[in-house]
């Protein structure tokens, strides 16, 4: 009597529109799943075309090529004798759906369209797809001729149905459906579905891994059952990093955990579980059984196939495992580094160029590249042939095998300290010391001749010479002189990124890395088109406080003592003249607020969705023990004035790794105007009226005490 089932789920590093590569990764995952004895294989959401196709979903080519890949999968001997569950866009009666296509032995069993679409934050599924709204109903889908010839089927069921095999019942929910208040697994479980599958396209956000795990374990705690979750992994073409975490759970326990970050393009998890454990678990929950007797049934697609074998008495069962989470500092060391790896190999560049200032932000970015080098060496040591082939292509050496992260870092990372007359000796030394410890190819240069030449052109044309504030200049002159230094650094960075390998007799160009953190971007504390302008920015979605924690982590984990003096130094732009050789300018003084305060403003503005007045009201209670209402009001006004005056800078922000829920990224995540009334007259008047009221009340209370 067979009742033990072996099921497989996976994380795949798919790439938007890379139909050839995506097909090969899907086939490899099915091959591994079969080799491990699985008879059902689940893959990530929209895995055939890659999740992040965005407006390419509008194109008939995307639908056509997805069908061609499906045909190749149906035809492949690899897909024999295993139920394959793949994701792709499907057009049904002129409407585009985000679907699962489930097939076995060249026959399509069911096309299951997604019923709840993700449409918040970075997600815009309603822009391209329509949710299937006919619960527990199916229609006939007429197969295109190219598939009819293969499957010998004219129509297949399309809609909200479940699969009934000889030994069990399987139901799908897709990504967002797990997060909805009434997920499909609730009623499916009550209707006797024993195996739930979830194909996800879920991206990394710091401190959020537990949310997925909690939802899956809770789903099977309340209802019993086996739950498989598949997810995409890696950068599939934009700011997001899909963070794997494939898993298999049963009755509230995890039985298989996939990695959250890795350089493996294909990762397959399997578990062998006993269906009787599901049945006995459910039998005991009388409230569930009462609800089950009332539930509306799902249409069942009968499948003449069993997931279990008849003789499975000696088949060993999987044991529950404890889910292991990364600390936020570990998440930063791994996620953005893997994202950089995908960017580097897929853009076919030869490495990275990083302006290294001796401050925390650029040091953190350098550490991410060093972390990447460590992961590459580790992957090669563990026999990852794809990583070895990629790294050989990047360094243009067919026999190269990386063993030492420092040596690899010297090949793929060029760091550059760009001094000016306003730079201190200390920051120069800190940058040089860090470069030596991580092994990067380091360049030191001075930008003063270029700055003088550009300012000289202005003086020649206008007959005036701007001065810094300490030399008697106005604030306009002071700011312009700071900005010209910052912008020249960007021009120099791109010149060296294009030609520094050429000057060394090596091929290729370098990707320029930016290193503005999420808090600076939020306030606009950066010069438009300075070194914050780059090809990509791995730390642009990470707060200053998290970056400091990450740098502390690197000191211990990577043994980089040079970081200690970088952490201890006050953050400074070094764009104004030194006072007696010492830095006179600090970031927090310049901004008029601390980085810690900035993180609070950022979360309230984006996550809590507060305008100036609501933020003031919230902060009155949060900061009431350290600030008077008037001080709180001044802080809120200062933030909103600066934020709105600088919002235009977000339109040119370098594409950054998305890691934080309060990112101000203007591209898709945080859609706002960039021409504001920076005086906020109505809103600030509401705050002022409230402050006056509170001050009057306080005065009355004091009078009462007298």
User: What's the sign of the alpha-carbon dihedral 377, 378, 382, 387?
Assistant: negative
Cβ-Cβ contacts under 8 Å for 690 (sequence gap 6 or more): 613, 616, 617, 629, 633
pLDDT at 630 (0 to 100): 95
Scan for tokens 């009221």, then name that residue: 693
Whether residue 112 has pLDDT greater than 70: yes
pLDDT (tens digit, 9 = 90+) per residue, 55-79?
999 999 999 999 999 999 999 999 9
Active-site residues, by number, are: 45, 114, 175, 357
Angle at 374 between CA 368 and CA 379, to 5 degrees: 125
The predicted pLDDT at position 592 comes to: 84
User: For 435-492, how does the pLDDT look when each residue is reduced to its tens digit (9 = 90+)?
Assistant: 999 999 999 999 999 999 999 999 999 999 999 999 999 999 999 999 999 999 999 9
The pLDDT of residue 579 is 67
**What pLDDT, in 10s, does the model give residues 391-407?**
999 999 999 999 999 99
Q: Is the pLDDT of residue 577 over 80?
A: no
Q: Can you tell me the mean pLDDT for 335-341? A: 98
Residue 694 pLDDT more than 80?
yes
What was the pLDDT predicted at 584?
62
Q: Given a cut of 60, is residue 1 above it in pLDDT?
A: no
Residue 416 has φ and ψ, to the nearest 5°, of: -145, 125
Query: For the residues 690-701, what does the mean pLDDT come to?
Result: 91
pLDDT in tens, 506-517: 999 999 999 999
Mean pLDDT of 13-35: 98
Percent of the chain with pLDDT over 90: 87
pLDDT at 231: 98
Q: What is the pLDDT of residue 354?
A: 98
Residue 556 banded pLDDT, cuts 50, 70, 90: very high
Question: Looking at residue 582, what is its pLDDT?
Answer: 63
The answer to whether residue 705 scores a pLDDT higher than 80 is no
The predicted-structure confidence for 234-288, as pLDDT tens digits, reads as follows: 999 999 999 999 999 999 999 999 999 999 999 999 999 999 999 999 999 888 8
Over residues 534-540, mean pLDDT? 96
Supply the pTM of this predicted model: 0.94
The pLDDT of residue 568: 92
Does pLDDT of 575 surpass 90? no
Predicted confidence (pLDDT) at residue 522 exceeds the cutoff of 70: yes
* DSSP category for residue 318: P
Whether the Cβ atoms of residue 512 and residue 493 lie closer than 8 Å to each other: yes
Cα gap 45→147, rounded to integer Å = 21
Name the nearest CA neighbour of 638 among 544, 524, 542.
Answer: 524
Lowest mean pLDDT among 120-129, 457-466, 573-582: 573-582
Please write the tens of the pLDDT for every residue from 405-443: 999 999 999 999 999 998 989 999 999 999 999 999 999
Buried b (16+ CB within 10 A) or exposed e, 592-617: ebebebbbbbbebbbeeebebbbbbb
C-alpha pair distances (Å), 421 with each of 184, 362, 645:
65, 20, 30
pLDDT at 583: 60
Residue 312's pLDDT band (cuts 50, 70, 90): confident
Q: Token pair of 275, please?
A: 């269906």
């Amino acid at each position: 009597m067979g009742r033990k089932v072996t099921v497989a789920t996976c994380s795949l590093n798919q790439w938007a529109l890379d139909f050839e590569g995506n097909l090969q990764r899907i086939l490899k995952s099915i091959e591994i799943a079969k080799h491990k004895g699985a008879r059902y294989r689940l893959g990530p959401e929209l895995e055939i075309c890659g999740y992040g196709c965005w407006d390419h979903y509008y194109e008939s080519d995307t639908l056509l090529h997805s069908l061609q890949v499906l045909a190749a999968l149906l035809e492949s001997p690899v897909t024999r004798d295993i139920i394959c569950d793949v994701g792709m866009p499907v057009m049904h009666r002129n409407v585009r759906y985000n679907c699962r296509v489930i097939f076995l032995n060249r026959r399509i069993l069911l096309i299951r369209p997604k019923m709840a679409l993700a449409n918040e934050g970075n997600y815009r599924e309603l822009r391209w797809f329509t949710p299937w709204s006919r619960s527990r109903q199916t229609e006939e889908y007429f197969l295109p001729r190219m598939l009819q010839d293969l499957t010998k089927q004219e129509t297949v069921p399309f809609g909200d149905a479940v699969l009934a095999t000889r030994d069990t019942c399987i139901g799908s929910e897709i990504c967002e459906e797990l997060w909805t208040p009434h997920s499909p697994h609730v009623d499916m479980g009550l209707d006797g579905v024993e195996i739930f599958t979830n194909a996800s396209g879920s991206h990394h956000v710091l401190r959020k891994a537990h949310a997925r795990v909690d939802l899956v374990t809770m789903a099977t705690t309340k209802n019993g059952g086996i739950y498989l979750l598949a997810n995409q992994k890696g950068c599939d073409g934009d700011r997001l990093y899909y963070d794997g975490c494939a898993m298999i759970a049963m009755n509230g326990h995890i039985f298989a955990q996939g990695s959250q970050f890795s350089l493996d393009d294909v990762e397959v998890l399997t578990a062998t579980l006993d269906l009787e454990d599901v049945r006995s678990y459910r039998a005991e929950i009388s409230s569930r059984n009462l609800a089950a007797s009332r539930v509306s049934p799902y249409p069942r697609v009968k499948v003449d196939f069993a997931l279990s074998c008849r003789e499975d008495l000696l088949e060993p069962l999987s044991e529950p495992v404890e889910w292991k989470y990364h600390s936020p500092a570990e998440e930063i060391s791994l996620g953005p580094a893997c994202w950089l790896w995908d960017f580097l190999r897929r853009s076919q560049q030869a490495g990275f160029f990083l302006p290294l200032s001796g401050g925390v932000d650029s040091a953190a970015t350098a550490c991410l590249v060093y972390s990447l080098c460590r992961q590459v060496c580790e992957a090669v040591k563990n026999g990852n042939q794809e990583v070895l082939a990629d790294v050989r292509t990047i360094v243009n050496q067919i026999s190269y095998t990386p063993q030492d992260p420092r040596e690899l870092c010297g090949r793929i990372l060029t760091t550059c300290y760009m001094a000016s007359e306003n730079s201190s000796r200390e920051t120069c030394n800190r940058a040089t010391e860090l470069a030596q410890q991580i092994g990067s190819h380091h360049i030191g240069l001075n930008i003063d001749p270029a700055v003088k030449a550009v300012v000289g052109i202005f003086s020649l044309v206008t007959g005036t010479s701007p001065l810094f504030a300490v030399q008697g200049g106005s604030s306009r002159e002071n700011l312009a002189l700071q900005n010209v230094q910052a912008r020249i650094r960007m021009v120099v960075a791109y010149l060296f990124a294009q030609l520094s390998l050429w000057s060394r007799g090596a091929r290729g160009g370098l990707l320029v890395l930016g290193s503005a953190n999420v808090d600076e971007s939020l306030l606009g504390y950066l010069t438009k088109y300075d070194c914050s302008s780059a090809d990509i920015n791995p730390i642009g979605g990470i707060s200053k406080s998290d970056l400091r924690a990450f740098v502390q982590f690197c000191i211990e984990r990577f043994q980089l003592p040079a970081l200690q003096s970088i952490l201890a130094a006050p953050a400074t732009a070094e764009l104004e003249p030194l006072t007696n050789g010492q830095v006179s300018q600090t970031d927090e003084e310049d901004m008029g607020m601390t980085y810690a305060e900035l993180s609070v403003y950022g979360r309230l503005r984006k996550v809590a969705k507060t305008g100036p007045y609501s933020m003031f009201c919230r902060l009155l209670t949060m900061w009431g023990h350290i600030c008077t209402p008037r001080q709180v009001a001044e802080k809120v006004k200062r933030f909103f004035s600066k934020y709105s005056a600088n919002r235009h800078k977000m339109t040119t922000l370098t594409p950054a790794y998305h890691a934080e829920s309060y990112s101000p990224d203007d591209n898709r995540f945080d859609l706002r105007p960039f021409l504001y009334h920076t005086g906020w007259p109505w809103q600030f008047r509401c705050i002022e009226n409230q402050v006056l009221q509170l001050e009057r009340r306080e005065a009355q209370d004091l009078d009462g005490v007298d």
